[in-house]
Structure 1
Amino acid sequence: MRNTPGNPVRGEDFWDRKDLIEKIWKSLERGSILLIAPRRFGKTSLMLKIHDESKKGWRPIFVDVEGMSAPEEFIVDLLERVAEKQGKSLLEKVRDFLGKIEEVGVENIRIKLRESLKTEWKKRGKDLFRKVLERDIRYIMLIDELPLMLRKFPQKKIAGEFLHWLRSIRQEPEICEKVRWVFGSSIGFHSIIRELGVTSNVINDLQPIPVLELSTKEAERMVREILKEELNIKRIKKEVMNHIFKKIGYPVPFFLQILLCSLITLYKQEGRLTSEIIDKAYTDLLKPWNRSYFEHFRERLEKYYEPQLAEIVKRMLSLIAYKGETSKQELSNFFVGQYQQGAIHLFDLVISDLENDFYISKDKDVYQFTSNVLRDWWIRYYGWRE
């Protein structure tokens, strides 16, 4: 296994999370699911693993929809991929749906289909699904970054209607038994729903499955395999392994891999693997040239919330980072003091968002950063501001 942090991986570079994959397959036998994880927690790699190694009897379709901004784009792109998996062109599947067309190039078909769907995408989109899906095939539709797509819709009303339409597709008798959906989300789905002004009914048929940190045993195996592949180190002392996890905290694959990147560089210079080298690798990890690893944690808050609220949330995270752990009551008092109108209700929503997105975790009645690395980065670059 090579060390490739940050990018989706396939094949031998994928860390095989067998228990999680088995849980996903069992859930798909019963219905559709929602994979929940922040960016770089391995969600997309997991979806690609399901795609590349699907069980017998399933036909997987993977689509990253982050760049889309309209229902008709989603419908045409998804159904084109379905047709390709059937070994047919989209034109063959929808010829009578489109009527007479003079140009038969792929792009012309896409354009004509999108135009035909613009005003009646709900009904005609559902008709297209019925037409394109083969009768005796079971499909898995792996849809990555749906919330980010919804944010790009020109009108919230259309985005809300699209979520209702997707749910109606999942409930359609002719479709639901032969199609399962896996929606991947790197931002809180409930935040998007709240923002769009729709109820949670639009996703209450999806089983949520979080992509969490590795177990200690899994994480240790991952470290051994990466260091063996990258440095030909066949044995790691117990105290060295313990020190890696003391520094990193929760064994999130991404944070573990970026620390190992820094550690591998130092090992090649120093020729030894000690607690002191690990400390230096950790310090180097937080240097300015590595900020790109972490900036999206700040940027997503500015996308989630209006400017005043985003600033308050960042201050609240700074408070948690500096104190190490902070009670819910102290955080509530701080939040209410900063943001007056409807503050208590909004505070509960914000705390829920931050937990769902793995910024913080709760132990009894106190909150702390989920990751030591993220906490230390936050302190360094977004220090306490009154």
Structure 2
Amino acid sequence: MGCLEQLAASGGFAVDEGVAEAVYDRLGIGIPQHVQSFFARLRDYALRHDRECITMEDVDAVYRTELLGPSGQNDLAHYEARLRDGVGDETRYGIAMEILAEAAVQGVFTPEARHHLETRYSKLPSNAPRQVIETLDVLVHDGYLESDTEGYRFASNLLRDWWKARFRDHYAPLTAASRTTSGEIDPK
């Protein structure tokens, strides 16, 4: 929050009360690159609207349309490229994408979802439980997910919302309870 306030002051922008807290709440954690990117987009948004003050309304608009919108895709796309490099092979990359989609869309990657993922990958010539464990280790180590009592969740709201926006309409939950007997996704 202090970083955002300093960026605004050094750029000659006034910031309404609560803006720094709202930015931090939207991001979920204060990754310096994300704070700087959010501020740059807030600044540009204010300039496009001929203002020298950043408002609370700007925070929501910029988060939805700038950070998660087309202009924010370049900033976030490097996470996917970094992920591909970090996990090392196509099988673990596929596992990582499924874990992240589950955690984003469902809110948490649960032990039940983990079991279903291990079962799905057990048909491949690899040790599926080991592959899932190693992939989770990378996702936690690199700051994508954090462990809690229910499973694994995104540490960053921005990354979660970005992944969720990408997969919410093109994703089948891992848990069997969300599937019908024919294998189709239950629309409920």
TM-score bracket, shorter-length normalisation: 0.7 to 0.9
- Alignment counterpart, residue 324 of structure 1, candidates 100, 107, 131: 107
Q: Does 1:307 align with 2:90?
A: yes
For 1:231 and 1:367, how far apart are their aligned partners in 2?
A: 40
In 1, distance between residues paired with 2:21 and 2:48? Answer: 22
* Amino acid in the other structure paired with 1:250: I
What secondary structure sits across from 1:367 in the alignment? Answer: strand
8 Å contact kept, 2:104–2:163: yes
Amino acid corresponding to residue 27 of structure 2 in structure 1: I
TM-score, scaled relative to structure 2: 0.78
Q: How many matched pairs?
A: 164
Gaps of 5+ in 1: 1-219
How big is the shift at 1:288?
1.8
Distance change >3 Å, CA 301–CA 240, structure 1 → 2 = closer
Q: Which of 105, 118, 123 matches 1:336?
A: 118
Q: Report whether the alignment pairs 1:260 with 2:54.
A: no
Task: Point out 4+ residue stretches in structure 1 off by more than 3 angstroms.
Answer: none
1:263 and 1:281 in contact (8 A); partners too: yes
TM-score normalised per structure 1:
0.40
1:385 equivalenced with 2:175 (yes/no): no
Distance 2:19 2:44 in 1: 17
* Partner in structure 1 of residue 26 of structure 2: 247
Helix, strand or coil for the counterpart of 1:358?
A: coil
Offset of residue 300 of structure 1:
2.5
Contact 2:92 2:132 in 1 (8 A): no
Give the match's secondary structure for 2:11: helix
For structure 2, the 5+ residue unaligned runs are: 173-188
Indicate which of 122, 138, 158 corresponds to 1:353: 138
Q: Could you tell me which residue of structure 2 aligns to residue 35 of structure 1?
A: none
TM alignment of 1:1-386, pairs within 5 A: 220-233=1-14, 236-237=16-17, 239-270=18-49, 271=51, 272-283=53-64, 284-303=66-85, 304-327=87-110, 329-340=111-122, 341-383=126-168, 384-386=170-172
CA distance in 1, matches of 2:144, 2:34: 13
Name the CA distance, whole Å, in 1 between partners of 2:29 and 2:69: 21
Please report how far the alpha carbon of residue 231 of structure 1 lies from its aligned counterpart in structure 2 after TM superposition.
2.7
2:183 matched residue in structure 1: none
For residue 308 of structure 1, report the CA deviation from its aligned partner.
Answer: 3.1
